[in-house]
Structure 1
Amino acid sequence: MNFDEIFKMLVKFGGNLLVASIVLFVGFWLAKFASKAIKRIMERREADAGLISFLSSGASLAIKILVIITAVNQLGIQTTSFIAVLGAAGLAVGMALQGTLSNLAGGVLILSLKPFRVGEEIQVQGVTGVVRQILIFNTILTTGDNREIIIPNSKISNENIINLTRLKTRRIETRVKLNFGENVDKFTDIALKIMNEDPRVHQTPEKPSVIVESLTEGALIFRLRAWCDTSVNSSVLADLHKRLYEEINRAGIYFPQTAIDVNLKNNPNLSENASN
């Protein structure tokens, strides 16, 4: 092979390499453009936010794979051979990355069954937070103290999920301890009055209630229940605690006090030291 042939080969390969680079550049730009376009179109149609994230990221990934295959073909590598090698490699990688594939399947299940949507507050895997994004492989939550939690979709799809905000109403519940001998009827009237006076408390499906839940050593335990809108349940419960404390003190009703028994025994050594 003489110099001219080598030069022509380099020129041809350089041209193919340039075209392949352009294909990659334009293709990746198109993937980004398509992802944004899908988001805009689906948002205009008021589609589910989780579905928007899932489809836009999936479309971007699919376009990038096609672009890479096209660029490889432009370099003169047989696409069929490349796809066969890619398939074999994909099988090996797939076996090694079973968890990742499980996350993908979990994402599909989440979007199909819709146990939660973007913007809803859920409790899963011991974490409570608002759903911000549902992606192909994971779901992103934001906690009340503004921490970002990323949970693999396979973990979520195989766990019990508590959706805290999907239903419009919630029942709040709290427990109060009182000393034996306190006026039970008086406390009950005070608690019911506080709950019934709160305009956020509902009278259906159940009216506010106060019951003696149990008797313990030195105390009566009352359980207070009321229904309200899910969006205000935390503030209703906080205000109930505050007013209960104020009204109970005003009425002369007392909470149990923690007592510590201290037993002193005669110690000859201590007595001798004290005398010295």
Structure 2
Amino acid sequence: MNFLDGILFALFAEADKSAPLMVPDSVQKANFAETVRKLANLDVDQLLQNLLSESVWILIKVLIALAIYFVGRWIVRRIIHLLDAVCERRRVDVSLRSFLRNTVRVVFTLLLVLIVVSTLGVNVTSLIAVFSAATLAIGMALSGTAQNFAGGVMILLMKPYRIGDYISAQGQSGTVREIKLFSTVITTVDNQTIYIPNNSIATAIIDNYSTADVRRVDWTVGISYGDDVDTARRTILGMLAADPRVLREPAEPVVWVSALADSSVNLTVRVWTKNTDFWDVFFEYNERFYKELPAAGINFPFPQMDVHVKNE
């Protein structure tokens, strides 16, 4: 019992809890007179001394709590650093490492807050009960957040993509930079940062362009009717044969007639190249086809429409 509680107890100790609600005036006057007498006899010096003692103790507890907080933050950083070192030594997947780092930081920070609050004299048991009830209520209101957390766990277990992979999902394309507790962070080719909820991306169709070491590049080249298909094929294959980026495995480059379209004969060109060379090869040969095929007598037709007028 602190000093203020003792004062209140001394002032009202004589009150009978079992007394009736209605008290006679004489009794009320006697009680009031007794209260005035106790206040008049109150030792002010003792009161100030106790207040000063209480203030000093509260200040000490605040300083201890601050010390625990700053030391705890340093310990949490050291634990995360140690976790990174262990994961690096055991070659843990980068995506899982990022997820574990975020989870450990959140858990230990919550523990640190509870320790600091307990040091200040707050009943941690009651606080945990209130926090649990609030968590349940918030969890019901934010069920999507829990689903995003579960989606992040599924992504780490199934590993449809990792940090550094170039993916396309939910209408967005970019390089995976981080897998957080509730979202996946990707960076687009024009350096935009996009956050995709883990629940959405875990249940979506994901195109991962970084999984395989080699990829096939396809072009559709339309040539005019009447042009020599064999000449076009030899010219295209000659370009590709001189390029070391064009691989002979898993298959040789091919040129096929894929369609007899309305205005052109469409040739399909397929080659294999390393994943890192895909876009360079694709864009470079678009330009080379346009420049070098006409020199070999191959023309690119414009869209045409024959209109027949019938006079009646």
Equivalent AA in structure 2 for residue 32 of structure 1: R
* Offset of residue 8 of structure 1: 3.2
**Runs of 4+ that moved beyond 6 A:** none
- Give the unaligned 5+ runs of structure 2: 1-6, 8-46, 307-312
Indicate yes or no: 2:141 matched with 1:99: no
Report if aligned partners of 2:186, 2:193 keep a CA contact under 8 Å in 1: yes
- The SS at the match of 1:149 is strand
Distance (whole Å) between structure 2 residues aligned to residue 93 and residue 237 of structure 1: 50
Q: 2:197 aligns with which of 152, 156, 164?
A: 152
The one-character-per-residue Cα deviations of 1:132-175 (angstroms, maximum 9, x if unpaired) are 21222222212222222222222211111111011111111011
* Offset of residue 258 of structure 1: 4.9
- The SS at the match of 1:243 is helix
Aligned residues: 261
The one-character-per-residue Cα deviations of 1:106-135 (angstroms, maximum 9, x if unpaired) are 111111111111112111112221112122
Report if aligned partners of 1:131, 1:140 keep a CA contact under 8 Å in 2: yes
Q: 1 or 2 for the larger relative contact order (CA 8 Å, sep ≥6)?
A: 1
Could you say which residue in structure 1 is the equivalent of 2:209? 164
Indicate yes or no: 2:137 matched with 1:137: no
Indicate yes or no: 2:231 matched with 1:186: yes
Could you say which residue in structure 2 is the equivalent of 1:225? 270
* Offset of residue 36 of structure 1: 2.5
Distance (whole Å) between structure 2 residues aligned to residue 260 and residue 205 of structure 1: 41
Indicate yes or no: 2:96 matched with 1:69: no
Correspondences of 1:1-276 after superposition (within 5 Å) = 1=7, 2-258=47-303
Report if aligned partners of 1:31, 1:61 keep a CA contact under 8 Å in 2: no
* Offset of residue 11 of structure 1: 2.9
Report if aligned partners of 2:176, 2:186 keep a CA contact under 8 Å in 1: yes
Equivalent AA in structure 1 for residue 106 of structure 2: L
- The SS at the match of 1:213 is strand
Query: Which TM-score applies when normalising by structure 2?
Result: 0.77
* Offset of residue 28 of structure 1: 2.2
The one-character-per-residue Cα deviations of 1:31-65 (angstroms, maximum 9, x if unpaired) are 22322332233223332111221111211111111
Distance (whole Å) between structure 1 residues aligned to residue 263 and residue 111 of structure 2: 74
The one-character-per-residue Cα deviations of 1:77-123 (angstroms, maximum 9, x if unpaired) are 22211111110011111112222222211111111111111112111
Equivalent AA in structure 1 for residue 235 of structure 2: I
The one-character-per-residue Cα deviations of 1:195-248 (angstroms, maximum 9, x if unpaired) are 233222222332222222222222122211111111111112223223322321
What value does the CA root-mean-square deviation take over the aligned residues?
A: 2.0
- The SS at the match of 1:50 is helix
- The SS at the match of 2:239 is helix
Report if aligned partners of 1:34, 1:56 keep a CA contact under 8 Å in 2: no
- The SS at the match of 1:204 is coil
Distance (whole Å) between structure 2 residues aligned to residue 248 and residue 125 of structure 1: 39
Equivalent AA in structure 2 for residue 143 of structure 1: T
Distance (whole Å) between structure 1 residues aligned to residue 146 and residue 75 of structure 2: 26
- The SS at the match of 1:207 is coil
- The SS at the match of 1:91 is helix
* Offset of residue 256 of structure 1: 1.3
Could you say which residue in structure 1 is the equivalent of 2:19? none
Distance (whole Å) between structure 2 residues aligned to residue 100 and residue 24 of structure 1: 28
- The SS at the match of 1:236 is helix
- The SS at the match of 1:226 is strand
Report if aligned partners of 2:220, 2:267 keep a CA contact under 8 Å in 1: yes
- The SS at the match of 2:293 is helix
* Offset of residue 260 of structure 1: 9.6
- The SS at the match of 2:256 is strand
Could you say which residue in structure 1 is the equivalent of 2:32? none
Equivalent AA in structure 2 for residue 149 of structure 1: I
- Give the unaligned 5+ runs of structure 1: 262-276
